[in-house]
Every structure is written in C-alpha cells, then in structure tokens.
Amino acid sequence: MSSVRTGSQDNRKLALESAAFGVGYTAVLIWSGTALVASFGQGQAGPYWPAIPQLRTDTTGIIAFLVAIVSLVVSRYLQLRRRSGAPVPPVAGPAGVVAAQAIAETAAVLGTGLVAYLSLNAVTHPETLRLQVTHLLPWPSEGTVRVIGLGVCLAAVATSRYLRATANRVSQAAEVPEEADVKADIVA
C-alpha cells in the first residue's frame, strides 16, 4: 500500500516538474518573440496579442521572462531532487544546495539569452543602450542590464561548476569507505 502511495506521489511530483518545465519553455518562447520584435520591429509598444490590447509587447516580454525564471528553477529543482537516487550523476546534498544548483543553471541559460538579446539590440539600434530597459521602471538602462547579465552569467556558471564538482567529490568520498570496509572484510 505504501508503494502505491509513493508511486502516486512520485507521479504527482513528476507531473508538477513537467508542467513547470512546459510553462517555462513556453515563457522563453514568448520572451524570445518579444525580443525579436524589440530588435527588428517598429511597433514594440503595440499589443502582443490583439485580444488584450492593453498588454504591450514589451510588458509581455518582461512578464514572460519573470515567469520563465520561476518555472524553470522549480522544474530543475524537482528534476535534480528526483535524480538524486538515480544512477545518473546526482547533485548530492541538502535541499538548499540542490536549489542553488537549480537557480545557477537557470540563471546561466536565461542570462545568456538576455545578454544575446541586448547585444543584438546594440547592433540593430545602439541608441537604445542608454534608454531605460522598460517603461515600468526609471532605471536601469539596457546597457546596464547587459553588464548585469554578464555578471549573472559569470556567477551562475562558476557556481554551477563548483556545486557539480563538490557533489561528485562528496559522492566519491562516500563510496571509498564502503569499498575499504569490503576489502577489510575480505582480508579478515
């Protein structure tokens, strides 16, 4: 009976993980579309979808980017926790370490997308680098956000690499005493 309950709970967690990834993936597509409109289009302030004329394309992009951050971190966190017992190289450690790994990986991917978009903007219309990044906030400028994005990428990639390396060392160190105990039993 408990295995059925556990299997059912596992299926719910997998469904949540999958739904979060689906939402995040779609949000990235929406953000990418708005970034293309901003880079190459003339009417970025126009509605993203005519059925909601009050929702500007640039505002839709900001909302989609924020949704992507949250949903992809949740999805990756749940995936890393699920894999912690699998033969795939796990991210070992407490939930906080797994959450840091999920955040770092998501920040690296989305930060890369953000830097690529703002760099493309710098090529297509460099005058916008000094303009505020959104009509919703008076600060920062596109140029400042591009530099912040580079810093986020640097920190995220370094953090992810460090956490993966230390997780592998911890799992290898945990295996060594077991092998030593087995060898000691064989010798005795």
Q: What is the pLDDT of residues 1-41, one digit of tens each?
A: 444 456 778 889 889 999 999 999 999 998 998 888 888 87
Residues facing residue 56 across a β-bridge: 47
75 contacts: CB under 8 Å, gap ≥ 6: 17, 18, 20, 21, 24
CB atoms closer than 10 angstroms to residue 140: 14
The pLDDT value recorded for residue 108 is 93
Total-model pTM: 0.71
Which residue numbers in the chain have pLDDT < 50? 1-4, 88, 90, 176, 182-184, 186-188
The pLDDT value recorded for residue 170 is 55
Supply the DSSP symbol for 58: H
**Three-class secondary structure of residue 114 per DSSP:** helix
The pLDDT value recorded for residue 52 is 84
